[in-house]
Amino acid sequence: MSKHSRSWLVKRINRLLMPGFTRVEFADFWMGDQFCSLVFTLSNLPLLVCTYAKGFDPGWHGECGNKAAIWPAAFVLAQLPLFIRFVQSVRRYADSGLNTHLINGGKYASGIVSYLFYYLWRHHGGRGTFFALWILFNTIYALYAGTWDLLMDWSLMKPRAKHRFLRDDLLYTNYVWLYYVTIVLNIILRFAWVIYIPALGPDNYLRSFIVGTIEVFRRVLWNFYRLENEHLGNVDQYRVTREVPLPYSLEESRELSDDEDDEDKRSAKDSK
């Protein structure tokens, strides 16, 4: 990574850690969304520090696992990217007055609540109230976020579009079928958390790793269509253009050119 790229990354991370104090730009909330897919990494930092401090003692499960006293630290780090995006959404609403930013903030708020009940369930164990509330709010969050992906982040699901249930303008025109595949795949991957539900099966740490890996893969797919949608939006608003618009119509240009040619011919005759 070049020095300029490193400087840009550090600057954006600094802006992420101080949400709400500055105007939110595309790079800010795009970077925030990337960190939302790194919950597995962030939430396991307390576990890593604890097990390292204990010298990887065989009894680390009891002192460093989900039932240990350090679980609030894991929750705080897990919800931190969602909290940052929530604050960014509120700031964008304050700057623009658009209610869509508050609706987007509600998505991240539901994610924070779902993580809270997940960690409460893992800490207390059993299949009681916390387990039921976690399933309820995680379902809400998955449907909320999946719908937002399709309708807002990707601007798809338009039944009267030139490409049915997609949109009129597409960049990946040679692979239109991939849009439909990705729509279905994105919804399925949003529900990857259901592998936590069975009482029997792989260890919870392995399941967490699987879910974390799936989420990173989903985010890669999401990025293709999110950046495509942003670019097309910039083209529509002339922030960037495929072709620079001319300040006159081609028809007017032809008529002007014909008039000039006629005038040149008359001038040539007069000179003779």
Question: What pLDDT score does 205 carry?
Answer: 87
pLDDT band at 238 (very low <50, low <70, confident <90, very high): low
At 135, list the tokens.
């399933």
pLDDT band at 25 (very low <50, low <70, confident <90, very high): very high
How far apart, in whole angstroms, are the C-alpha atoms of residue 158 and residue 179?
13
Amino acid residing at 42: L
Question: Stretch 61-88: mean pLDDT, rounded?
Answer: 89
| Structural domain count of the chain | 1
> 262: how many CB neighbours lie within 10 A of its CB?
10
Q: Identify which has the larger pLDDT, 203 or 254.
A: 203
- Please give the C-alpha separations between residue 193 and each of 50, 135, 213, 264, in angstroms, as whole numbers: 25, 9, 12, 77
Amino acid residing at 96: S
The sign of the dihedral angle between the CA atoms of 81, 48, 13, 225 is negative
CB-neighbour burial class of residue 264 (10 A; exposed 0-12, middle 13-18, buried 19+): exposed
Rg (CA), the chain: 26
Cα 177–chain centre separation: 22
Question: Stretch 163-176: mean pLDDT, rounded?
Answer: 93
| Burial call 45-64: b when 16+ CB within 10 Å, e when fewer | ebbeebbeeeeeeeebeeeb
At 261, list the tokens.
């040619």
Q: Is 88 left (phi over 0), alpha (psi -120 to 50) or beta?
A: alpha
At 123, list the tokens.
């800490």
Whether the pLDDT of residue 105 is over 80: the answer is: yes
Question: What pLDDT score does 83 carry?
Answer: 97
| Burial call 160-169: b when 16+ CB within 10 Å, e when fewer | eeeeeebbeb
| DSSP three-state, residue 168 | coil
Whether the pLDDT of residue 144 is over 90: the answer is: yes
At 239, list the tokens.
């922030």
CA-based nearest residue to 230, from 8, 26, 24: 26
What does the CA dihedral 238, 239, 244, 249 come to, rounded to 10 degrees? Answer: 20
Question: Stretch 119-146: mean pLDDT, rounded?
Answer: 95
pLDDT band at 249 (very low <50, low <70, confident <90, very high): low
Q: Which residues contact 183 (CB under 8 A, 6 or more apart)?
A: 150, 156, 157, 165
**pLDDT tens per residue, range 35-62:** 999 999 999 999 889 888 887 777 777 7
Whether the pLDDT of residue 269 is over 70: the answer is: no
Tell me the pLDDT of the chain averaged across its residues. Answer: 87
Question: What pLDDT score does 191 carry?
Answer: 98
**pLDDT tens per residue, range 79-92:** 999 999 999 999 99
Question: What pLDDT score does 100 carry?
Answer: 96
At 142, list the tokens.
């998955």
Question: What pLDDT score does 68 carry?
Answer: 81
Q: Identify which has the larger pLDDT, 219 or 71.
A: 219
Per the structure, the complete domain to which residue 217 belongs is given by 3-271
DSSP class of 2: -
Question: What pLDDT score does 102 carry?
Answer: 97
In percent, the amount of the chain with pLDDT more than 70 equals 86
**pLDDT tens per residue, range 175-230:** 999 999 999 999 999 999 999 999 888 888 899 999 999 999 999 999 999 999 99
How far apart, in whole angstroms, are the C-alpha atoms of residue 44 and residue 141?
22
The sign of the dihedral angle between the CA atoms of 87, 193, 216, 147 is negative
